[in-house]
Amino acid sequence: MAEATAIDTSVVVAALLSWHARHPDALAELDALLGDGSRVLLPVPVLMESYSVMTRLPPGQRLSASDAHELLSRTFASSSELVSVEGRGAWQGLAQGMAANISGGATHDLHILLVARAHGATSILTFNERDFSRLPLEGIRLRVPGTR
């Protein structure tokens, strides 16, 4: 199986919103991944959170629901794999999180990690390296756009 990269919300939002301070690095990395035939995984929780963030920004930066949907769809619908974990996988992941003393907001990052792992990700592209580094990565490396 080809190497796969899961994309985190922090990168999706930065890549798609041109006013974002990290837009150039995020867009360059995302364009490279989507353009070179890499397996790009878009975890369902990332899709939903990205839509949520883009539609709740302050006035002047906030996207309408239809604009956020269009932007996400145009960028990812045909160029990435929308992936999730359900049923027993979610229960097993929650048990792993409990064993690693993961709680609170870190549970959301754990969910993204579990989805990425379940679908063969070898890396997670994120600006939230510190948050993910506290999780049991077990061979999945973290990549930060703009750093090589």
CA angle, corner 44, sides to 119 and 148, nearest 5? 65
Chain position carrying tokens 């604009």: 67
Q: How many domains does the chain have?
A: 1
Which residue from 127, 100, 138, 133 is spatially nearest to 27, judged by alpha carbons?
127
Pick the range with the lowest mean pLDDT from 13-22, 85-94, 104-113. 85-94
Integer Cα distance of 91 and 36 in angstroms: 35
Does a structural domain hold residue 107? yes
Task: Indicate if the pLDDT at residue 1 is higher than 70.
Answer: no
Torsion of CA 11, 137, 39, 25, to 10 degrees: 30
Domain of 109 in residue numbering reads as 4-143
Structure tokens at 86: 């359900």
Buried (b) or exposed (e) across 117-138, using 16+ Cβ within 10 A? Answer: bbbbbbbbbbbbeebbeebeee
Does a structural domain hold residue 38? yes
Does a structural domain hold residue 148? no
pLDDT per position as a tens digit, 39-59 = 999 999 999 999 999 999 999
For the beta sheet containing 141-143, the strands, ordered from the edge strand earlier in sequence to the opposite edge, are 81-83, 39-43, 4-7, 121-125, 141-143
Does a structural domain hold residue 49? yes
Can you give the CATH number for the domain in which 58 is found?
3.40.50.1010
pLDDT per position as a tens digit, 115-145 = 999 999 999 999 999 999 989 999 999 999 9
pLDDT per position as a tens digit, 57-104 = 999 999 999 999 999 999 999 999 999 998 888 898 889 889 999 999
